[in-house]
Structure 1
Amino acid sequence: MTQTALKIVPVSPKPSAQREALTEAKVRAAKPGAQRHEINDTDVPGLAVRIGTDTKVYILRSRLGTGRQAKRVQIKIGDTRAITLKQARDLARANILDLRNGIDPRVPQIGAIRTAQLLDLYEQDLIARQIVRTNDMMQSLRANLNPHRSRPIGDLTRLDLTAIIDGIQKSGRPGAADYFRKNATGFLNFAADKGHIPVSPLAGYRRPRQTRAQRLSGGQWTMNTPDQIKRFLKAVSSSHDPIFQAFLRFTLLTGQRRNEVAHMRWTELDANLSIWTVPADRTKSGTEHTVPLGLLSRALLENLAEVACAIIGETDDLIFSSHRKPGSPMSGWSKRIIPVRKAFGDDRLSIHGLRRTYRTGLSELGIDFDTAERMIGHKRPGLAGTYDKSTIIDRRFEAQFRWEDTLSELGEFWLVP
């Protein structure tokens, strides 16, 4: 009997694994190598970060159902560049709970995903799309949807959502109510687009039209006279946050959008503090915007650097940094503006109204339409916007100097005390 030679087939080695309590620092420090390996988390059993040749992702290994016969499954939680370790742990815990209940997170279950889990997925989507206002948007959604965070998204009704909007409105924060409505609409459209719900419960929802009495009582808040601007500048001092005071004054001086100013950095200014360049990824138009600065706005920035250093202990790159969370932009606008509204005596007062005041003021000074529109970063319509790429920076500097000269005559309101 002849013997047959055995053929030896090499087996690919399984990825090596370590077991230790993961930290953000360890995840960042883990370097891709020639061989794939994993670090298992001790805080959440089954969670690991897999380090490949050019990727780092969180994965979860668990069982679908209970008992020894339950099928083993592996779920990709997300890329380490898109989600934090805390988010990965929260998602892993939610997935483990679903798996024990026999729900496979990899198979879309219409309406079954919990609101908190879907909010995390929505945040990942916003980050991947590089949405500038992601933090503000998610803060509004999480704060207002918190009572419903553990409910399946399919159980969230239109009545639940309109009750939240009405409650914010009745608390005297119409801007926050409108902001939540917009964010909730986007979030629920995302849920519908991804197949988590058949249709958004806010589909077709519109704000009630203003009545004749409401229209007669006054439209959008704008300051049209020097006396109104004087009253506003005095009212600004009622805020207990000197950095927020400077933020309001600077917004009136430059007329730029709230989030563009709130995320402004020292590195975006030229050496003479005469030009502020807003990067394209932070403008509404998606194009880089150059803002000329005059003597008042430059003096305010120089003064603010000294004040911020005294409050925070160092000069942060973020100019209007939160004094409670140094290095983070300000938030909670609805609450911040309340004392200024009371001191001014008009509940319609808003940060966006400062932008309207700036644009109105340019027209009052006789600044031509094209220059004034460029000053506030509006896109030029039609073929002019397509073919005319001029910056008219000299005309814009002249317009800014004229506006700041006008404001300088109103008194010494510009430096932070």
Structure 2
Amino acid sequence: MGKLTSKSVQALIKGEPNRYADGDGLYLVVPKSGHPSWMLRYSANKKRREMTLGKVIDISLADARLDAATKMKQLREGADPLIQRQRAEQENIKTVNDLFHDWYPTLVKRLKYPTIPQRIYLKDIAPHIGDIKLDQISARDIRKVINTINDSGRPTIANDALGYSKQLFNHGIKLDLMNFNPASAFTFRDAGGVEKNKIRALNEDELNQFFSTARKHKESFSRSNYLACALLICLGVRKSELCEARWDEFELEKGLWHLPKERSKTNVAFTIPLAIEVQAWFEELKIIGFGSDYVFPSRKISKKPHMGSDTLNRAITKLFGHEAGKKKQPKNVMGDIPHFTVHDLRRTCRTLLARQGTQGHIAERCLNHKLKGVEGIYDQYDYLDERKEALDKLATKIHSIVI
């Protein structure tokens, strides 16, 4: 086939998927799906390289030839066109925000939950330093970020923000965009401090007081939040596993919740037995949800269709007299009970299972923990019947407090 023409290009893009040579390394690529495009093939350092020039709908044949000729001239002068393009793209990374947007795709590839560092960056880092140019960022800017987070009473988030900042600016050094990391001199002692293992679990009196108080303040602690807390104690599941649950994961008539591996922290599908009391709470949530696909649909206009990751913690914290972003703080209605978080409810479940006499390995499986050591390798039994008995007994106790 000879040189392409504008007319032949229009005919080819309607035909079979293939590559059609125009000459001098330029090809028309017609894919099985997607838009036809222009591609340049060449050899550099004895290696075959391919470089997409653009879509046919955006670039004419004449412009594609001109672009290809320009890049082949670069090659003859000793510059690899693909490397030159990559360098040009990196030159557009000028601010901290630009650097983050280049760094984030690497998180998607290697982290199971890349939205966690994304959320912390967008909420707590970007408002302070996002628009600062990379050649102007300083250690004082980093200190301002971690001090501001610390002053808001979130030392753990301050530690996380410092850790992500170090990774972000190391990415800038890798790309030869920065000569130093402005966060490198700081340690966790400069941020939120060395974190201790939490041991908070609510006792029966505290549970009675919490649920009693929550019932009296329905205007700030919704029924959905109330039932979510009860379910976390009765099932021992992780916050995200419950808040992001879909109704198609449930067989309520059989008393089963099939947690898919994609949403399980262990990356293994897990079936959770539901006590009669728990089934009734889920049935109530189905009514509250007005036909939503999610057990806890988002109550606000949001990118996420389900309850947000901070919703329950914010609701609990408000009962203790603190509401983020408000100058006038609410009254502490929880009395002398020490503050607790959503994760403490999961720990409470584990503690109550032990207190009622549930064997350790069964209690661990109730929380979807992998059994440790040799036992975890050879014991593949899922203890569904034993877990059902244990969780039924726990639900009966918690129901008398929640009702």
TM-score by length of 2: 0.68
State the shift of 1:392 in Å. 0.9
SS in 1 for 2:86: coil
1:354 aligns with 2:345: yes
Report if aligned partners of 1:157, 1:201 keep a CA contact under 8 Å in 2.
yes
1:34 aligns with 2:17: yes
State the shift of 1:175 in Å. 4.9
* Structure 2 equivalent of residue 232 of structure 1: 210
State the shift of 1:119 in Å. 2.5
Q: Distance between the aligned counterparts of 1:276 and 1:167, measured in 2? A: 41
Q: Distance between the aligned counterparts of 1:256 and 1:204, measured in 2? A: 38
* Structure 1 equivalent of residue 141 of structure 2: 160
* Structure 1 equivalent of residue 69 of structure 2: none
State the shift of 1:338 in Å. 2.2
* Structure 1 equivalent of residue 4 of structure 2: 11
Q: Distance between the aligned counterparts of 1:15 and 1:161, measured in 2? A: 54
* Structure 2 equivalent of residue 395 of structure 1: 386
SS in 1 for 2:253: coil
Report if aligned partners of 2:236, 2:349 keep a CA contact under 8 Å in 1.
yes
Q: Distance between the aligned counterparts of 1:317 and 1:352, measured in 2? A: 25
* Structure 2 equivalent of residue 26 of structure 1: none
1:344 aligns with 2:334: yes
SS in 2 for 1:409: helix
State the shift of 1:307 in Å. 1.4
Q: Distance between the aligned counterparts of 1:34 and 1:328, measured in 2? A: 41
- Counterpart residue identity of residue 161, structure 1: I
Matches within 5 A, 1:218-367: 220=198, 222-237=200-215, 238=217, 239-272=220-253, 274-309=255-290, 315-325=291-301, 327-333=305-311, 335-342=314-321, 343-345=333-335, 346=337, 348-367=339-358
State the shift of 1:362 in Å. 1.0
- Counterparts in 2 of 1:230 and 1:283: CA distance versus 1, 3 Å: same
- Counterparts in 2 of 1:158 and 1:344: CA distance versus 1, 3 Å: farther
State the shift of 1:405 in Å. 1.4
State the shift of 1:323 in Å. 0.5
SS in 2 for 1:291: strand
Report if aligned partners of 2:103, 2:171 keep a CA contact under 8 Å in 1.
yes
Q: Deviation string for 1:225-270 (max 9, x for gaps)? A: 2111111212434434433333222212212112122211111112
- Counterparts in 2 of 1:54 and 1:199: CA distance versus 1, 3 Å: farther
Please say which structure displays the higher CA radius of gyration: 2
SS in 1 for 2:2: coil
- Counterpart residue identity of residue 160, structure 1: D
Q: Deviation string for 1:1-43 (max 9, x for gaps)? A: xxxxxxx833376977xxxxxxxxxxxxxx998379xxxxxxx
Q: Distance between the aligned counterparts of 1:275 and 1:109, measured in 2? A: 51
Report if aligned partners of 1:264, 1:318 keep a CA contact under 8 Å in 2.
yes
Q: Distance between the aligned counterparts of 1:116 and 1:408, measured in 2? A: 48
Report if aligned partners of 1:274, 1:294 keep a CA contact under 8 Å in 2.
yes
Q: Distance between the aligned counterparts of 1:32 and 1:226, measured in 2? A: 72
State the shift of 1:139 in Å. 2.4
- Counterpart residue identity of residue 34, structure 1: P
Report if aligned partners of 1:111, 1:197 keep a CA contact under 8 Å in 2.
no
Report if aligned partners of 1:266, 1:318 keep a CA contact under 8 Å in 2.
yes
State the shift of 1:140 in Å. 2.1
Identity of aligned residues (%): 19
Report if aligned partners of 1:279, 1:288 keep a CA contact under 8 Å in 2.
yes
* Structure 1 equivalent of residue 328 of structure 2: none
- Counterpart residue identity of residue 10, structure 1: K
1:139 aligns with 2:130: no
TM-score by length of 1: 0.66
Give the CA RMSD over aligned residues: 4.2
How many residues matched? Answer: 332
1:372 aligns with 2:353: no
Report if aligned partners of 1:111, 1:152 keep a CA contact under 8 Å in 2.
no
- Counterparts in 2 of 1:390 and 1:297: CA distance versus 1, 3 Å: same
- Counterpart residue identity of residue 386, structure 2: R
SS in 1 for 2:382: coil
1:106 aligns with 2:99: no
Report if aligned partners of 2:150, 2:158 keep a CA contact under 8 Å in 1.
yes
Q: Distance between the aligned counterparts of 1:391 and 1:358, measured in 2? A: 19
SS in 2 for 1:150: coil
Report if aligned partners of 2:260, 2:269 keep a CA contact under 8 Å in 1.
yes
1:383 aligns with 2:374: yes
Unpaired runs of 5+ in structure 1? 1-7, 17-30, 37-49, 60-72, 77-103, 310-314, 413-417
Report if aligned partners of 1:274, 1:292 keep a CA contact under 8 Å in 2.
yes
Q: Distance between the aligned counterparts of 1:250 and 1:167, measured in 2? A: 34
Q: Deviation string for 1:115-136 (max 9, x for gaps)? A: 22233234333444573x3444
Q: Deviation string for 1:107-159 (max 9, x for gaps)? A: 1759954222233234333444573x344442221122223222234644444
Q: Deviation string for 1:376-416 (max 9, x for gaps)? A: 1112222322232110111111110111112123251xxxx
SS in 2 for 1:272: helix
Q: Distance between the aligned counterparts of 2:158 and 2:356, measured in 1? A: 35
Report if aligned partners of 1:275, 1:290 keep a CA contact under 8 Å in 2.
yes
Q: Deviation string for 1:335-367 (max 9, x for gaps)? A: 333213333245631111111111111111111
- Counterpart residue identity of residue 9, structure 1: G
Unpaired runs of 5+ in structure 2? 20-28, 39-50, 55-83, 322-332
